[in-house]
Amino acid sequence: MTDMITQVVSCDDSPAIARATAILRSGNLVAAATETVYGLAADATNDEAVKKIYQVKGRPSNNPLICHVLDISMAESLVEVSETAKLLMEKFWPGPLTLVLPQRTPTQIAPTVSAGLSTLAVRCPNHPAMRSLIKGSGLPLAAPSANPSGKISPTTAEHVRSGLDGKIEMIIDGGATDLGIESTIISIDQNDVIRLLRPGTITSDEIADASNKDILDNNSNHITAPGQLESHYAPDALIRLNAKTALAGEYHIGFGEVKGNFNLSETGDLSEAAKKLFTAIGKADQSADKIAIAPIPLTGIGLAINDRIKRAAAPRPQTDTDTDHHLNSNGNE
Ligand code: AMP
Ligand code: MG
């Protein structure tokens, strides 16, 4: 693919948003802020456009994408929305909850979005940048994180530019993302069984409360998408988890009282830590060959943070953590 000029524009720039929607309608890619991480969007009904996402990211073709919709009614035109699914959409949308549901047939959605699966992951973003693209184009947008496959997810327009400059036409800058980690993903099957496929800032407990149902943890016996087997986020540096102190040569990412070179949250606030996580890993990766990360509590949003740092550490055989690096790898990029 020949390199192009990547324009970075503000999400308040209406003429630029109009140009972005034209780019999408012509089958090309635009990156945009969402409340979780920056997404790389394409017209989900155009197979050639969706293929460009896989190509630009270097994403394995068996790792399905999330389809972004404006509202519940757009979701209902694409997937079978059970009563439980609707309840959760009403409670958490727009917001960082992705639901994997049976696709309607026939469907306008390109088969590559779901990597050929009969289900589709739908999410309704709550950020004006991505919302204006869906609204302006009138299209459902397939959008994974806007980073090269295997790298950490981007939480600023600058992160996107450093990974994809010259490969996409436009980046819609909406500032640093509010939440900092990717959406919670659940599946709801034909028997109304809810499974957590990827933890996020909306916790399993909140979903259980809202649905009045038990949430099953996804595990390696219940792989519903091939992408979920993969470990991602690998920075160049080696990562050591549960580190209260740093060893020689390590960049130490702290949390709470474990100060570190960069502290995710001095007050021990897990939302703040999630928001800063990928910036911290990026900074650490630029500063040292080895990274140590302080213990993060395994409660609430801490579960999502631990999921991401475990996967960042996963390809490294010699860390001193007692966690199983291959547990619960849900395949993100
Ligand atoms: P990303 O777009 O990088 O945030 O990753 C999206 C993730 O959503 C994939 O890696 C899958 O784990 C999950 N996913 C997307 N679509 C489906 C689906 N139809 N069934 C199960 N999981 C899915
Ligand atoms: Mg991703």
Domains and CATH numbers, the chain: 7-217 (3.90.870.10), 238-313 (3.40.50.11030)
User: Is residue 299 within 8 Å of residue 167, measured between CB atoms?
Assistant: no
Per-residue pLDDT tens for 162-208?
A: 999 999 999 999 999 999 999 999 999 999 999 999 999 999 999 99
Mutate to test the pocket of ligand 1, among 197, 233, 278 (most ligand atoms within 8 A of CB): 197
Distance CA 151, CA 143 (A): 16
Ligand 1 contact via 112 beta carbon (within 6 Å)? no
The amino acid occupying position 154 is P
Atom 2 in ligand 1: residue holding the nearest Cα: 144
Q: Per the structure block, which two tokens stand in for 181?
A: 């980690």
Q: Which of the ligands is closest to the CA of residue 224? A: 1
Q: How many CB atoms lie within 10 A of CB 297?
A: 15
Q: How high is the mean pLDDT of the chain? A: 91
Three-state SS for 69-119 is CCCHHHHHCCECCCHHHHHHHHHHCCCCEEEEEEECCCCCCCHHHHCCCCE
Ligand 1 contact via 218 beta carbon (within 6 Å)? no
Phi, psi of 119 (to 5 degrees): -100, 165
Distance CA 13, CA 25 (A): 19
pLDDT score of 311 = 87
Q: Which residues have C-beta within 8 Å of that of residue 190, sequence separation ≥ 6?
A: 102
pLDDT score of 315 = 62
pLDDT score of 255 = 98
Distance CA 27, CA 55 (A): 14
Pairing of strands 184-188, 215-217: unpaired
Q: What percent of the chain has pLDDT over 90?
A: 84
Ligand 1 contact via 66 beta carbon (within 6 Å)? yes
Distance CA 195, CA 215 (A): 5
Mean pLDDT of 109-122: 97
- Which residue(s) pair with 69 in the sheet? none
Atom 6 in ligand 1: residue holding the nearest Cα: 65
Ligand 1 contact via 119 beta carbon (within 6 Å)? yes
Task: Report the candidate in 131, 3, 111 with the shortest Cα–Cα distance to residue 51.
Answer: 111
Per-residue pLDDT tens for 121-155?
A: 999 999 999 999 999 999 999 999 999 998 899 99
How many A from CA of 64 to the centre of ligand 1?
Answer: 5
Per-residue pLDDT tens for 55-93?
A: 999 999 999 999 999 999 999 999 999 999 999 999 999
User: Is residue 11 within 8 Å of residue 128, measured between CB atoms?
Assistant: yes
| N residues, the chain | 333
Mutate to test the pocket of ligand 1, among 100, 152, 177, 232 (most ligand atoms within 8 A of CB): 100
Mean pLDDT of 94-100: 98
Per-residue pLDDT tens for 254-300?
A: 999 999 999 999 999 999 999 999 999 999 999 999 999 999 999 99
Ligand 1 contact via 122 beta carbon (within 6 Å)? no
Distance CA 111, CA 134 (A): 19
Mutate to test the pocket of ligand 1, among 228, 229, 307 (most ligand atoms within 8 A of CB): 228
Angle at 178 between CA 177 and CA 179, to 5 degrees: 100
Phi, psi of 19 (to 5 degrees): -65, -40
Atom 12 in ligand 1: residue holding the nearest Cα: 228
